[in-house]
Amino acid sequence: MVVQPMEGYDSDGMGSPSDLTKRRYLRFAEGGSGIIWFEAVSVCREGRSNPHQLWLNKNNADHFARLNDDIRKTAGRLGFDPLLIIQLTHSGRYSKPEGKAEPLAAAPNPVLDRDKPYILTDDDLKRIRDQYVVTSKLAARSGFDAIDLKACHGYLMIDLLAAKGRINSIYGGEEPEKRFRFFLGTFDRMKDEASGSVMTTRLNISDLYPGGFGVDDKGNPDFSEPVMLVDELGSRGVHLINISMGSPYYNAYVTRPFDTPLPGQPVPDEHPVAGVMNMINNTALFQKRFPDIYFTGSAWSYLRHYAPNVGAAVIKNGSAALIGFGRNSFAYPSMTADLIKTGRTDPAKVCIACSGCTRLIRNMRPGGCVIRDRSIYGAELKKLIADGK
Ligand SMILES: Cc1cc2nc3c(=O)[nH]c(=O)nc-3n(C[C@H](O)[C@H](O)[C@H](O)COP(=O)(O)O)c2cc1C
Ligand code: SF4
């Protein structure tokens, strides 16, 4: 069982974990999952998705180290020993370091671009690579067991993997080898620099929009390039990959199937269970093709208290090695511990796919479960509503 990365938008202004961040991770530590996959942590100021995104840097590495110590002590007291993974990111097209959009893209994409993004030059990218490398060294020193080079949900790395329209660059164009170059080169340098750390990635196997990664010309899934990339990672000794699809900014129902959309957003044509099945079936394609790699898929929270039963079947038939929960980890962080203790989950504690947590972070408020962790996050939602949002 995995706690999936879930951004809380609650760091202090310099990217350090706050008391709320600590509370969240200690709840995960008590929850009994085998992997705590930290939320997106930026490698630089200008690549933050919001002014309160975590940002690991030389001035605050000891704060992260203390948090990891506390997590290990808390988990250890209950007999748990989770693998701690940090998700390193640059928000690229979705950067908002001061709260307003400052998009930094690999190539123009008419489907995604509202404003004209700044197109990063190869020199910019080399500087960003150095930031990833320095940050991975800090991550290893701060006690993380593993480092995820995030490549999903529309942010910089997946944008580069998809950047067929990037011209006059060694990091883009029609050939997949050129588009893979920045990701794999960064991955290799991080692995050298943070030697001893397990290396992994959260990878979109299909963006499901035109001009994305893992799609044909119409934006339908085409896994040929994602398979090539996973093959490359396998040859580099990667044994763990976290699969996702879609973009929270374009087709959020793919990434996190829900019952209630964000205010003002349409209800998608696709039934949420169809979305869950797509994630399960497409993760299975990769798990079966690469049996030496442990894969976890996503979108499990929609299945509520039935998710562990479905997850057990998925593991039994070899369709995934791990089952990861995003929203449900906000709602019911102790679900795994309950399963271990009683073999049951409590239907009164599960996530109900209401999009409340997304609504909070979209409005740059601290993110958590407005339903099951009401005293803090229900109160945040009330303030938001009072502000007319
Ligand atoms: C509030 C919120 C924050 C999220 N933050 C991250 C993140 O930091 N990194 C990431 O890879 N995915 C992030 N996700 C996506 C989740 O990890 C997960 O893939 C998604 O919620 C679907 O899984 P679920 O059905 O178990 O919630 C976030 C989702 C939500 C709703
Ligand atoms: S606010 Fe709570 S119940 Fe609603 S989607 Fe988020 S985690 Fe689930």
pLDDT digits (tens, 9 = 90+) for 57-108: 999 999 999 999 999 999 999 999 999 999 999 999 999 999 999 999 999 9
Confidence (pLDDT) at 195 = 87
Residue 68 lies in a domain: yes
The secondary structure of residue 22, as a DSSP letter, is H
Determine the residue of 50, 256, 303 to mutate for testing ligand 1's pocket, defined as the one with the most ligand atoms within 8 A of the Cβ atom. Answer: 256
Answer whether residue 211 shows pLDDT above 90.
Answer: yes
- Span 340-385, pLDDT tens digits: 999 999 999 999 999 999 999 999 999 999 999 999 999 999 999 9
* Residue 361 within any structural domain of the chain: no
> Within 13 Å of residue 234, how many CA atoms lie on the same side as its CB?
15
Nearest to 359, CA basis, from 265, 268, 267, 276? 265
Average pLDDT over the chain, rounded to whole? 97
CA distances from 42 to 85, 139, 166, 294, 323 (A): 14, 12, 24, 25, 25
> Is 381 among the domain residues?
no
pLDDT higher than threshold 90 for residue 389: no
User: Is there a domain that residue 127 lies in?
Assistant: yes
pLDDT number for residue 193? 94
CA distances from 237 to 113, 260, 286, 291 (A): 36, 41, 16, 13
Nearest CA to ligand 2 atom 8: 351
pLDDT tens-digit map of 148-179: 999 999 999 999 999 999 999 999 999 999 99
In the prediction, which pLDDT does 313 show? Answer: 98
Q: From CA 145, how far away is CA 124, in angstroms rounded?
A: 29
| Residue 147 included in any domain | yes
DSSP state for residue 378 in the 8-state scheme: I
Looking at the domain assignment, is residue 371 inside a domain? no
Asked if the structure places residue 383 within a domain, the reply is no
Check which CATH number belongs to the domain holding 23 and give it.
3.20.20.70
Residue 115 clears pLDDT 90, i.e. is over it:
no
Sign of CA dihedral 40, 42, 47, 50: positive
Any bridge partners for residue 198, and if so which? 146
pTM: 0.98
Mean pLDDT of 270-283: 98
Question: From ligand 2's centre to the CA of 368, what distance in Å?
Answer: 7
Give the number of domains in the chain. Answer: 1
CA of 311 to the centre of ligand 1 (A): 18
CB 371 within 8 A of CB 359: no
Q: Does residue 219 fall inside a structural domain?
A: yes
Site to probe by mutation for ligand 2, drawn from 259, 370, 377 as the one with most ligand atoms within 8 Å of Cβ, is 370
Residue 182 lies in domain: 2-349
Predicted confidence (pLDDT) at residue 388 exceeds the cutoff of 90: no
Q: What residues have CB less than 8 Å from 307, skipping those under 6 apart?
A: 300, 301, 323, 325, 328, 345, 350
Question: 3-class secondary structure for 88-106?
Answer: EECCHHHCCCCCCCCCEEC
Ligand closest to the CA atom of residue 370: 2
Q: Average pLDDT, stretch 292-296?
A: 98
